[in-house]
């Protein structure tokens, strides 16, 4: 049980949707744990420069002397490298903190842009209907009939390498999921009486769409947004691991894992193992939070 | 018949649209001239080169030219290997198909029994473990699991080779196949388990299962015949559609295990800017995808007449 749940019933507060959501969400111990883990991970990513004993990309502090030090050995700078060091002598713990920052940043940023684009397009399709809707949904169906990794590889092959290109690829991969979700729930909401009432008041279309339709579509958007962010992080890591993702100057977790690959066969597991564990913890905690949100918000999602 | 023709026409349209996307993407967003010429070429040489490749002509002419060549099976020569791109891809295709089918079989053989067990006894601890495992199967990044498998089974235990491919259907070949196939299968295994569990839970409540029990059939016969038969249709349909996903995801597994398939070739080619091979891979993969989807759709319609009727009304 979390402290939050215990403090709630002391003074009966008016029940707001957010508070109800929170109390239902934290009723699950697994979800509470996942949420706490996610908060820790986000904190680690945000404050990486203060938490890391070393700036792993400042050449002045990294020395090849420390290369491939095993976990628990002391580096030449005097601090304990409790997760070991990689092939260039970087402290793995510091590299993971900085890598988390990049992985989370890319995942969340591309998710937000894709959410904005997908929402706008989905709302347009639902509100306009007719051929606009048919055309948009054809494109969405076409894209979703191919797996995300294939679409991403096509885009990376076309666009080339670089952080901006990977961002564009991730956004283009994701927008269709959001568009489909938003359109689905907006179509349901559109037939309801409050929209009809708003139309009778002769409110402008933009006001109806953004002030009336959109807030009522939020629940499924939150769920899909959470799960999709985990997907985006995993996809970016995969692309970076394959060597077609982020450039070496922006070492995300996927790139760290790829760097350790060559040392794996000689038994130096820690260079790949720990970044992978960090990636796994991130994806798992986001997925568990998303699953719980889906149960609590209970939007009838398509598949 | 109308339905079949309609679906085939739709698939042809998808292939055409995708070829346009890939062509325009590769030739407009990326500039092929920039990649093909070297810095020490003179202006005249560059011009001649551009004319020779037809890059001075308007884009729609270039596209039609590309289509005409593609229809004859000519997708250009690889810059790196100097051989026809299509030939390179087709040479690598058996390895990828071997891997994909092995993973497919594994996912079915392991996933269906696990899912059925979890569906029949949803409260058993083993069922909970199975479902937790399936969540793990969805969340674990494929490439990292592959690395860990190499570390445990090849480096620490030394049971299986970590990279490469052996002769097809020999002991050595199977040993090489084991780790990549399991790696590729994990995600689908989780999916099959969940599908089989949901299907079993639903089927177990149906009247025909109750009737079979009431008739006094042995529990094993009820489960293995009556329940299994009825969950197979949705599971096979979804899996059929996922076969294409296996081929796409084999890119990752092939890279980890240095499996000499088309996926590894794609990654190498993207890194070396070998565009004809990249285009050839994409064309072939999209084609495979569309054909798989078409076949699954048609099979599904053949099995379930309701699908046909709905399509016709629409």
**What's the rounded mean pLDDT across residues A121-144?**
86
Whether A200 has a pLDDT exceeding 80, the answer reads yes
Chain A residue set in contact with B, beta carbons under 8 Å: 142, 145-147, 149-150, 153-160, 230, 234, 237-238, 241-244, 254, 257, 260-261, 264-265, 267, 269, 272-273, 276, 279-280, 283-284, 287-288
Across chain B, mean pLDDT equals: 78
Q: Where are the domains of chain B?
A: 85-313
What's the N-to-C CA distance of chain A in angstroms?
32
Contacts of A147 in chain B (CB under 8 A): 244-245, 248-249
**B75-107 per-position pLDDT tens digit:** 777 777 777 888 888 888 888 888 888 888 888
Task: Report pLDDT for A65.
Answer: 63
**A251-294 per-position pLDDT tens digit:** 888 888 887 777 777 767 777 888 888 888 898 889 888 888 88
Whether B312 has a pLDDT exceeding 60, the answer reads no
Task: Report pLDDT for A301.
Answer: 43
pLDDT band (50, 70, 90) for residue B28? low
pLDDT band (50, 70, 90) for residue A113? very high
Angstrom distance (rounded) from CA B189 to CA B182: 9
More confident residue, A23 or B39: A23
Angstrom distance (rounded) from CA A276 to CA A240: 13
Chain A contact present for B143, CB below 8 A: yes
CB spacing of A154 vs B22 below 8 angstroms: yes
CB spacing of B139 vs A142 below 8 angstroms: no
Task: Report pLDDT for A75.
Answer: 64
Chain A contact present for B164, CB below 8 A: no
Q: Where are the domains of chain A?
A: 24-54+82-301
Angstrom distance (rounded) from CA B106 to CA B102: 6
Q: At the top level of CATH, which class does the domain A24-54+82-301 belong to?
A: mainly alpha
More confident residue, B311 or A179: A179
**What's the rounded mean pLDDT across residues A154-160?**
80
Contacts of B295 in chain A (CB under 8 A): none
Angstrom distance (rounded) from CA A96 to CA A74: 18
Whether A97 has a pLDDT exceeding 80, the answer reads yes
Task: Report pLDDT for A117.
Answer: 93
Q: Which residue of A has its CA nearest to B246?
A: A147
Whether B304 has a pLDDT exceeding 70, the answer reads no
Query: Nearest CA to CA, how far is B40 from chain A (Å)?
Result: 24
Whether A45 has a pLDDT exceeding 50, the answer reads yes
Query: Nearest CA to CA, how far is B29 from chain A (Å)?
Result: 7
CB spacing of A153 vs B141 below 8 angstroms: no
pLDDT band (50, 70, 90) for residue B239? confident
What's the N-to-C CA distance of chain B in angstroms?
16
Whether A174 has a pLDDT exceeding 60, the answer reads yes
Of A242, A243, A257, the CB nearest to B144: A257
Task: Report pLDDT for A114.
Answer: 92
**A84-94 per-position pLDDT tens digit:** 777 666 777 88
Query: Nearest CA to CA, how far is B214 from chain A (Å)?
Result: 35
Which of the residue ranges A14-18, A78-82, B63-67 would you say has the lowest mean pLDDT? Answer: A78-82
| DSSP 3-state of A303 | coil
Q: Which residue of A has its CA nearest to B137?
A: A284
CB spacing of B244 vs A241 below 8 angstroms: no
Which of the residue ranges A130-139, A232-241, B199-208 would you say has the lowest mean pLDDT? Answer: B199-208
The CATH superfamily label for domain B85-313 reads MetI-like (1.10.3720.10)
Phi, psi of A84 (to 5 degrees): 85, -170
Tell me if B66 sits within 8 A of B58, measured CB to CB: no
Which of the residue ranges A3-12, A68-77, A251-260 would you say has the lowest mean pLDDT? Answer: A3-12
More confident residue, A14 or B210: B210
Task: Return the residue in B15, B31, B254, B270 with the most chain A beta carbons within 10 A, the one to mutate for interface testing.
Answer: B270
Angstrom distance (rounded) from CA A132 to CA A115: 20
Chain A contact present for B11, CB below 8 A: no
- The answer to whether the predicted template modeling score (pTM) of the entire model surpasses 0.90 is no
pLDDT band (50, 70, 90) for residue B53? low
pLDDT band (50, 70, 90) for residue A76? low
pLDDT band (50, 70, 90) for residue A67? low
Tell me if A95 sits within 8 A of A271, measured CB to CB: no
Q: Which residue of A has its CA nearest to B23?
A: A158
CB spacing of A244 vs B270 below 8 angstroms: yes
Tell me if B251 sits within 8 A of A156, measured CB to CB: no
**What's the rounded mean pLDDT across residues A150-157?**
83
Task: Return the residue in B24, B137, B144, B245 with the most chain A beta carbons within 10 A, the one to mutate for interface testing.
Answer: B144
CB spacing of A257 vs B14 below 8 angstroms: no
More confident residue, B152 or A228: A228
pLDDT band (50, 70, 90) for residue A2? very low
Contacts of A290 in chain B (CB under 8 A): none
Classify burial at B238, counting beta carbons within 10 Å of its beta carbon; exposed 0-12, middle 13-18, buried 19 or more.
Answer: middle
Query: Nearest CA to CA, how far is A220 from chain B (Å)?
Result: 20
């Amino acid at each position: 049980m979390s402290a939050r749940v215990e403090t709630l019933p002391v003074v009966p507060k008016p029940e707001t949707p957010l508070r109800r959501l929170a109390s239902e969400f934290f009723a699950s111990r697994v979800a509470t744990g996942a949420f706490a883990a996610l908060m820790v991970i986000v904190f680690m990513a945000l404050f990486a420069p203060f938490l890391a004993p070393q700036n792993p990309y400042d050449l002045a502090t990294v020395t090849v002397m420390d290369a491939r030090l095993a976990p628990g050995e002391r580096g030449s700078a005097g601090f304990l490298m409790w997760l070991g060091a990689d092939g260039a002598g970087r402290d793995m713990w510091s590299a993971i903190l900085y890598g988390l920052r990049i992985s989370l940043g890319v995942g969340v940023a591309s998710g937000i842009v894709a959410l904005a684009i997908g929402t706008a397009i989905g709302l347009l399709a639902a509100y306009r209907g007719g051929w606009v809707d048919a055309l948009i949904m054809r494109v969405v169906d076409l894209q979703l009939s191919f797996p995300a990794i294939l679409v991403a590889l096509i885009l990376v092959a076309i666009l080339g390498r670089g952080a901006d290109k990977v961002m564009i690829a991730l956004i283009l991969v994701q927008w269709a999921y959001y568009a489909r979700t938003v359109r689905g729930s907006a179509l349901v909401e559109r037939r309801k009486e409050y929209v009809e009432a708003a139309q009778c008041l002769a409110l402008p279309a933009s006001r109806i769409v953004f002030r009336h339709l959109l807030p009522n579509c939020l629940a499924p958007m939150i769920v899909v947004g959470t799960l999709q962010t985990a997907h985006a992080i995993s996809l970016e890591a995969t692309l970076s691991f394959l060597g077609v993702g982020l450039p070496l100057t922006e070492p995300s977790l996927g790139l760290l894992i790829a760097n350790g690959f060559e040392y794996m066969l000689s038994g130096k597991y820690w260079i790949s193992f720990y970044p992978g564990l960090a990636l796994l913890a991130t994806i798992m905690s986001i997925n568990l939070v998303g699953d719980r949100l889906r149960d609590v918000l209970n939007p009838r999602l398509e598949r | 018949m109308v339905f079949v023709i309609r679906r085939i026409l739709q698939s042809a349209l998808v292939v055409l649209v995708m070829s346009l996307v890939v062509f325009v993407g590769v030739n407009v967003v990326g500039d092929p001239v920039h990649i093909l010429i070297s810095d020490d070429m003179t202006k005249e040489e560059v011009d001649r080169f551009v004319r020779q490749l037809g890059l001075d002509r308007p884009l729609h002419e270039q596209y039609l030219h590309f289509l005409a060549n593609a229809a004859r099976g000519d997708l250009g020569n690889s810059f790196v290997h100097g051989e026809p791109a299509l030939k390179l891809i087709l040479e690598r295709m058996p390895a990828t198909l071997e891997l994909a089918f092995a993973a497919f079989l594994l996912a079915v053989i392991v996933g269906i029994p696990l899912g059925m067990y979890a569906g029949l006894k949803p409260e058993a601890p083993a069922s909970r473990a199975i479902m937790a495992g399936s969540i793990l199967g969805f969340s674990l990044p494929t490439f990292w699991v592959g690395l860990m498998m190499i570390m445990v089974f090849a480096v620490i235990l030394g049971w299986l080779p970590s990279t490469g491919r052996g002769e097809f259907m020999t002991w050595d070949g199977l040993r090489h196949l084991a780790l990549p196939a399991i790696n590729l299968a994990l995600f689908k295994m989780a999916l099959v388990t969940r599908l089989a569990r949901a299907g079993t839970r639903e089927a177990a409540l149906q009247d025909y299962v109750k009737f079979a029990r009431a008739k006094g059939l042995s529990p094993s016969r009820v489960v293995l015949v009556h329940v299994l038969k009825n969950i197979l249709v949705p599971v096979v349909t979804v899996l059929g559609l996922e076969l294409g996903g296996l081929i796409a995801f084999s890119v990752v597994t092939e890279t980890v295990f240095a499996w000499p398939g088309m996926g590894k070739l794609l990654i190498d080619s993207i890194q070396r800017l070998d565009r004809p091979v990249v285009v050839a891979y994409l064309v072939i993969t999209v084609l495979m995808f569309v054909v798989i989807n078409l076949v699954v759709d048609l099979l599904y319609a053949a099995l379930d007449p309701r699908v046909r009727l709905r399509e016709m009304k629409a």
